[in-house]
């Protein structure tokens, strides 16, 4: 018995951390412009397996769930909310749902945690949430109804309008994602009428949704996000240059070149335009410490090669300490430019 008690916490911890990590992979792949269906199915299967492992020992997960609420990590929130709704106990569900309303990504995590359950379990809570006066609560319910393809008891466009009427509403990204997933072009006029001019996240979120729904007029409004410093600049560059016509893209590139740190942003533009003839230029940027890792990512996008799989990365032990001290792009590998050039004869 002592051995079992010593072993269970390790198992619970492993399942919790793995499920939380996989949730981030799930979100990244789901939101990708071209999701890898096979990889996504694998991620979902692995999430299910880890959640099953936690469900078997649900009583032992309380401390992990309480910690998740304090840490505000989206992956951990997803797991905590899944387990809270699995318990069906209000005293476990309420703290997670209330804390999630603080940020858009936590709200998405709780909505996903609820919707991950079969309708027979989550439908009760989804029905309660969608009838709530709080727009964020209603958005969680709507997400669940939409995920399980159930008839929605309210008008989606009305709920969206309620959210748009409130400055910096945390549920707006979730509601916009639902509209884009359903290809609901009927909301475009509402979005056009409620697009702020300021370089703020909410403006970018609305413009992004408009473009996904085929509203080409949003492209010109995206230009200030491309040329000026803002929190969504890199995402705006990737989005804009994936949709610009060649002549217009050339003009925007010329303007982008005159901005500070232009090389980094030009790399992102090149990737979005799939400009494979510029691979030699991308390789040259790998030799610049500040650009090396992002250039490696762009090279992978253009060439289709996986750097790690090919063994074209530099291990930390052989890295210059000054390079390792550079901040930014920590989640990316350092590409071995010399090895890549030698292998590809470039």
Euclidean distance between CA atoms 133 and 345, whole angstroms: 63
Mean pLDDT in residue range 104-116 = 96
Looking at residue 187, the DSSP 8-state letter turns out to be G
DSSP 8-state code for residue 335: B
Choice between 172 and 345, residue whose per-residue pLDDT is larger: 172
| C-alpha to C-alpha distance for 170 and 185, rounded to whole angstroms | 22
The length of the chain, given as a count of residues: 346
Give the dihedral of Cα atoms 300, 304, 310, 312; nearest 10 deg. -20
The per-residue pLDDT for 66 is: 82
Distance CA 19, CA 174 (A): 21
Residue 118 DSSP class: -
Residue 43, pLDDT > 70, answer yes
Domains of the chain, by residue range, sit at 1-128, 274-346
For 346, which DSSP code?
A: -
pLDDT tens digits, residue range 292-324? 999 999 999 999 998 988 889 887 665 666 666
- Tell me, rounded to whole angstroms, the distance of Cα 341 from its chain centroid: 32
pTM, to two decimals = 0.86
Q: Which of 34, 27, 28 is nearest to 272 (CA)?
A: 34
Model confidence pLDDT, tens digit, residues 217-264: 999 999 999 999 999 999 999 999 999 999 999 999 999 999 998 999
């Amino acid at each position: 018995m002592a051995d079992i008690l010593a072993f269970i916490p390790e198992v619970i911890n492993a399942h919790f951390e793995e499920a939380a990590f996989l949730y981030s992979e799930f979100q990244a792949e789901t939101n990708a412009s071209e999701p890898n269906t096979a990889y996504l199915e694998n991620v979902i299967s692995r999430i299910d397996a880890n959640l099953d492992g936690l469900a078997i020992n649900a009583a032992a997960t309380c401390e992990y769930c309480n910690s998740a609420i304090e840490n505000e990590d989206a992956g951990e929130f997803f797991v905590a909310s899944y387990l809270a709704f699995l318990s069906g106990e209000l005293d476990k569900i309420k703290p997670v749902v209330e804390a999630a309303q603080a940020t858009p990504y936590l709200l998405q995590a709780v909505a996903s945690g609820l919707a991950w359950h079969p309708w027979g379990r989550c439908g009760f809570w989804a029905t309660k949430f969608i009838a709530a006066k709080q727009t964020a609560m209603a958005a969680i319910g709507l997400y669940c109804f939409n995920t399980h393809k159930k008839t929605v008891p309210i008008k989606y466009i009305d709920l969206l309008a309620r959210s748009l009427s409130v400055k910096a509403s945390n549920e707006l990204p979730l509601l916009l994602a639902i509209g884009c997933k359903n290809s609901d072009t009927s909301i475009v006029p509402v979005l056009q009428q409620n697009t702020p001019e300021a370089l703020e996240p909410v403006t970018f979120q609305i413009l992004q949704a408009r473009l996904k729904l085929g509203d080409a007029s949003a492209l010109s409004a995206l230009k200030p996000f491309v040329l000026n410093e803002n929190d969504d600049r890199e995402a705006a560059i990737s989005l804009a240059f994936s949709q610009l016509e060649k002549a217009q893209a050339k003009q925007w590139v010329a303007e982008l070149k005159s901005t500070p740190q232009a090389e980094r942003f030009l790399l992102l533009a090149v990737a979005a335009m799939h400009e494979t003839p510029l691979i030699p230029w991308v390789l040259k940027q790998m030799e610049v410490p500040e650009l090396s890792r992002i250039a490696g990512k762009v090279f992978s996008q253009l060439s289709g090669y996986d750097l790690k799989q090919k063994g074209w990365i530099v291990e930390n032990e052989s890295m210059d300490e000054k390079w390792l001290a550079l901040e930014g792009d920590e989640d990316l590998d350092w590409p071995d430019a010399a090895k890549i050039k030698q292998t590809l004869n470039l």
